[in-house]
Structure 1
Amino acid sequence: MKRKVLKILIVILLISLPVILHQTYRWMTALPDRITIAAGHSEGRYYGMAEQLKSMLQEQLPIKVEILETQGSLENLKLLREGKADLGFYQPGTEFELTQREPGPKKQKRAVASDNDEICFIANLYSQVMHVIVPLDSEIISVSELKGKRIAIGLPGSGDLAASLPLLDHLQLNLNEIDPAYLTYREIEEQFGQKRLDAVFMTLGVEAPILHQLLESGQFRLLEIPYIGALTRRETHFYPYEIPAGMYSRKQRVIPERNLPTVACGALLLTRESVSDELVSVVTSQVLHQNFSRQMHLNELSAQGNTFARENQGFPMHDGADHVYNPELKPFLNSEFVEATEGMRSFIVSMLIAGYLLIHWFQKRRMKAKEHRLDRYIRQLVDIENQQMKLDGNKAEDGPALLTLLDDVTSLRQHTLKQFSAHELNEDRATDVFLEMCHALSDKINAKLLGWKIDRLGEKMKDD
């Protein structure tokens, strides 16, 4: 009865196991109710992309998206590490440049990474191009004449500042040889209008509104950066870039007048390793969708697709993003589910093994403590053997007694065999021993009977 109940319970467990695993999988990979995007300044391009991404995600998923206005790439990275942001925009090289140099009023400190929560890559969005802009009527003809000038080099913690520092180093200028200005884009426009600013270093996508506002006005021009190869060789996060002639103005004045060599770096969308694979997969799909790249004028991403988006610079790719880039490699089980249930699975397997060993030990102990079914028959057989030992077959009355004992052995053997199946007889060594004892005792009784019959036959011959 107990075995039957145990079998029923095992069958029920096996039937319900897929349901349990499915519900556990859904619970472990459920999307969060709210996510946060670290987006930079409200007037910057990062912020505009964050708003577009927010609109697309909230339209597709039952989540709320919050956008954080920050000081730029360095703060975005810090918020990601601290777990205060789930997504963040980042300019490669920012952390290194702003922690290795003295970039402004006070030295920036590196954000401390939280334990076991690595920063991961989602997508490269567009090229952030270095621009050196001066007023049209400025006496500055080349970048070699920037010494002693008031130059806007970006806000503390921003990608603009992180790109400006290696450019100054490339031009063999340090912060003490210029008048650095840490200004917002709005302040740059105001101070240019007030003749308080000589030049500005901007590292932005060529579609950035601030660039078009300045250069389409016809009141500014671009300076060429010399020795691009040397700059890109030394600063690995930069790569050569060429601004097409007439990119910003083709009316009264063509800007630039010819293809202008410069450098650029990527604009990365990052996340944390702990962020849901499902969420990151959706975000990656949205970023790669043509609607997003067209609305945000991400021409490189639109034209080159996955090839451009996967141009990573220094961060491991998140599993959720990798599932989108390489759908054929997507595992059957979500990696989050596998990792999250690893401890549970180890515990369950250990408990099953321990349970099996305990049950096996308990059964063996119970079998040892419990009388074997043959024990009673063996005792009866021993009683018969003791009785036959009292009969030597020499007396006349021994014969009938021995015959009775022989019949008792035969009956006991037949009754015992009826209690066991053929499988039990084959598996249980005790039955073999019992049968051998029966045969030996029968042979012993038969021998005494034979002697008794011979004696009786001799007595009869004497009488005759």
Structure 2
Amino acid sequence: MSFSISRRTFTAGAALMIAGARSAFAQGQKFFRIGTGGTSGTYYPIGGLIANSISSTGPNGVEGLVSTAVSSNGSVANINAISGGSSESGFTQSDVAYWAHSGTGLYDGKGKVEDLRLIATLYPETLHIVARADAGIKSVADLKGKRVSIDEPGSGTIVDARLVLAAYGLTEKDIHPEYLKPGPSGEKMRDNSLDAFFFVGGFPAGAIVELAATSGITLVPVSGPEADKLLEEQKFFSKNTVPADTYKGVGETETIAVAAQWVTSAKQDDELVYEITKSLWSEGTRNALDAGHAKGKSIVLENAITSLGIPLHPGAERFYKESGTLK
């Protein structure tokens, strides 16, 4: 079956499409992407909950706003997308945000991302070292000679994995490194082709929950004098504990954490970011976070301006002053 379309009909249709697009812009429709992480981590589902809540269709959404959560390689990739203009905002670890804005650490010699601004600090991101229960890995030092995934290049996890390894006197040369997200890492652990993997994110992480339910795993503690020295040297780290039975069969585990932050560019409109921040801390978003993900309950207004390694966006700062959060 075939059909033809006249030039006049095509032109009329194109004109209608253009008119529709102009109408949408005339009505003030705005787009605000949120770069997250891999779909099996914590950033992606939290980003989806926030995007749905702040969009105009949300219970306390921003009028005319269309927000979407976009899967990505994580912190560094999200900051690069914001800096390059291909994303309006994204999630990042507090350490990576600080390095980017100051041009230090991971960004040493690469220039500063001076326009990076904070919308909100969200929740603690726990450093997980997940190991097969039969791999004989009881400490970070036991990773030597093992097959270990330290996450993909461009992620915040890979940066912190290298810092933790170094704290215990190890480098990538001392392990058999792989560069995989938690989902693929879990699959390789199931078929015994991987011994352990690093992941930085809120607990419980979906990929680890699934792995613990189907295979025997353990969490490797990050503790002792090596961890204490690391905490002293890298101020963005804090002590953290994964409670017993967060993952099936895994006891309480001492480790460290950084903060998950939602960042944007100083170039984003002040009024828009103000309305987005207001919507983030509305009753509708509160209900969605509480019901939608175990980590949602940890996202509270009292922590919104903690771990301030970069400046607040003026729109967000206005909201926090009005709400009394920022004195």
Structure 1 residue 112: Cα displacement: 6.1
CA distance in 2, matches of 1:52, 1:94: 23
Could you give the per-residue CA deviations for residues 179-198 of structure 1, whole angstroms, max 9, x where no partner exists?
Answer: 11101222112211221111
Q: Is the 8 A contact 2:75 2:91 kept in 1?
A: yes
CA distance in 1, matches of 2:308, 2:28: 28
Q: Is the 8 A contact 2:204 2:247 kept in 1?
A: no
Q: Is the 8 A contact 1:125 1:266 kept in 2?
A: yes
Match of 2:135 among 133, 138, 147: 138
CA distance in 1, matches of 2:127, 2:115: 29
Between Structure 1 and Structure 2, which shows a larger proportion of strand residues? 2
**Structure 1 residues 233, 121: CA separation in 2 closer, same or farther (over 3 Å shift)?**
same
Task: Kindly indicate whether residue 320 of structure 2 is the aligned counterpart of residue 325 of structure 1.
Answer: yes
- Equivalence map 1:21-420=2 (5 Å): 33-56=30-53, 57-59=55-57, 60=61, 61-94=63-96, 96=99, 100=105, 110=110, 113=113, 118-217=115-214, 219-227=216-224, 228-249=227-248, 253=249, 255-256=250-251, 259-289=252-282, 290-294=286-290, 295-298=292-295, 301-302=298-299, 305-327=300-322
Structure 1 residue 246: Cα displacement: 2.4
Aligned amino acid, residue 239 of structure 1: S
CA distance in 1, matches of 2:36, 2:90: 6
Structure 1 residue 144: Cα displacement: 1.9
Query: Which residue of structure 2 aligns with residue 416 of structure 1?
Result: none
Structure 1 residue 321: Cα displacement: 1.2
The normalised TM-score by structure 1 is: 0.56
CA distance in 2, matches of 1:109, 1:75: 17
Aligned amino acid, residue 238 of structure 2: Y
Structure 1 residue 299: Cα displacement: 5.1
Structure 1 residue 293: Cα displacement: 2.7
**Structure 1 residues 214, 99: CA separation in 2 closer, same or farther (over 3 Å shift)?**
farther
CA distance in 1, matches of 2:186, 2:85: 35
CA distance in 2, matches of 1:186, 1:245: 22
Q: Which has the larger radius of gyration?
A: 1
Aligned amino acid, residue 210 of structure 1: A
Query: Which residue of structure 2 aligns with residue 456 of structure 1?
Result: none
**Structure 1 residues 111, 83: CA separation in 2 closer, same or farther (over 3 Å shift)?**
farther
Q: Is the 8 A contact 1:32 1:63 kept in 2?
A: yes
Q: Is the 8 A contact 2:52 2:68 kept in 1?
A: no
Could you give the per-residue CA deviations for residues 50-104 of structure 1, whole angstroms, max 9, x where no partner exists?
Answer: 2222222131321333443322111111111122221111112236499856xxx
**Structure 1 residues 31, 169: CA separation in 2 closer, same or farther (over 3 Å shift)?**
farther
Structure 1 residue 316: Cα displacement: 0.4
Structure 1 residue 281: Cα displacement: 2.1
Q: Is the 8 A contact 1:224 1:262 kept in 2?
A: yes
Query: Which residue of structure 2 aligns with residue 433 of structure 1?
Result: none
Q: Is the 8 A contact 2:32 2:68 kept in 1?
A: yes
**Structure 1 residues 152, 328: CA separation in 2 closer, same or farther (over 3 Å shift)?**
closer
Q: Is the 8 A contact 2:32 2:88 kept in 1?
A: yes
* 3-state SS of 2:223 partner: coil
**Structure 1 residues 168, 35: CA separation in 2 closer, same or farther (over 3 Å shift)?**
same
**Structure 1 residues 287, 75: CA separation in 2 closer, same or farther (over 3 Å shift)?**
same
Structure 1 residue 312: Cα displacement: 3.0
Q: Is the 8 A contact 1:93 1:237 kept in 2?
A: yes
CA root-mean-square deviation: 2.7
CA distance in 1, matches of 2:31, 2:116: 19
Structure 1 moving runs of 4+ over 6 Å: none
Structure 1 residue 109: Cα displacement: 8.1
Structure 1 residue 146: Cα displacement: 1.3
Q: Is the 8 A contact 1:124 1:312 kept in 2?
A: yes
Q: Matched residue pairs, number?
A: 285
CA distance in 1, matches of 2:324, 2:218: 49
**Structure 1 residues 299, 85: CA separation in 2 closer, same or farther (over 3 Å shift)?**
closer
Higher relative contact order (CA 8 A, sep 6+): 2
The normalised TM-score by structure 2 is: 0.78
Q: Is the 8 A contact 2:46 2:289 kept in 1?
A: no
